[in-house]
């Protein structure tokens, strides 16, 4: 990869990673949630290892982050289970996805998970679990 730097010499990078390591990339498409699935939480399990990522929008001034999520799988050749919590709270999962390719997952095409959507007023922790909000009104504080 070549990078042109302003007022400086260009940089040239070469991939020297181990080709035996595997990966999976996911493009999420919302149908009842927002189309780009911004805010969706993705959890994968591959060869006993768990990983989490979130679809993030935006970036910086005049830029945009990639809306796809990418996971490194090391030696695993398949993702045993993939869970998505869509922005509207719907939980779905897919099983046995092959590695080393881009998968496009449409909301509503996975298997509904046993997890229930977050209830109103609940917040999500960094692991995608629902917890109760610590905010309460001044009236509740006096009682």
- Nearest-angstrom CA–CA distance, 21 and 78: 12
Asked if 97 and 77 touch (Cβ cutoff 8 Å), the reply is no
Return the minimum-mean-pLDDT range out of 53-67, 93-107, 120-134.
120-134
State the pLDDT confidence band at 114, using cuts at 50, 70 and 90. Answer: low
Phi and psi angles of residue 78, each rounded to the nearest 5 degrees, phi first: -145, 145
- Predicted confidence (pLDDT) at residue 130 exceeds the cutoff of 60: no
- Predicted confidence (pLDDT) at residue 98 exceeds the cutoff of 50: yes
Mean pLDDT of the chain: 83
DSSP class of residue 47 equals T
Asked if 80 and 46 touch (Cβ cutoff 8 Å), the reply is yes
Kind of pairing, strands 111-112 and 91-98? Answer: antiparallel
Summarize the confidence of residues 86-102 as an average pLDDT.
97
Phi and psi based region of residue 139 (left: phi greater than 0; alpha: psi -120 to 50; beta: remaining): alpha
Kind of pairing, strands 102-106 and 122-124? Answer: unpaired
DSSP class of residue 127 equals T
What is the widest separation between alpha-carbon atoms in the chain? 67
Identify the CATH class of 18-142: mainly beta
pLDDT digits (tens, 9 = 90+) for 5-55: 999 999 999 878 778 899 999 999 999 999 999 999 999 999 999 999 999
Phi and psi angles of residue 19, each rounded to the nearest 5 degrees, phi first: -70, -10
**H or E element, residue 139:** helix 138-142
């Amino acid at each position: 990869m070549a990078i042109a730097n302003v007022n400086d010499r260009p940089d040239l990078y070469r991939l020297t990673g181990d080709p035996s390591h595997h990966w999976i990339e996911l493009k999420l498409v919302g149908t009842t949630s927002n189309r780009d699935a911004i805010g969706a939480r993705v959890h994968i399990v591959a060869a006993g290892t768990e990983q989490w990522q979130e679809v993030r929008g935006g970036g910086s001034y005049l830029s945009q982050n990639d809306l796809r999520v990418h996971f490194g799988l090391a030696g695993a050749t398949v993702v045993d289970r993939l869970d998505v919590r869509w922005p509207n709270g719907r939980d779905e999962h897919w099983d046995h996805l092959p590695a080393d390719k881009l998968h496009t997952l449409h909301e509503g095409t996975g298997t509904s998970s046993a997890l229930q959507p977050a209830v109103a007023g609940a917040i999500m922790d960094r692991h995608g679990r629902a917890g109760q909000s610590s905010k309460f009104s001044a009236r509740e504080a006096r009682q």
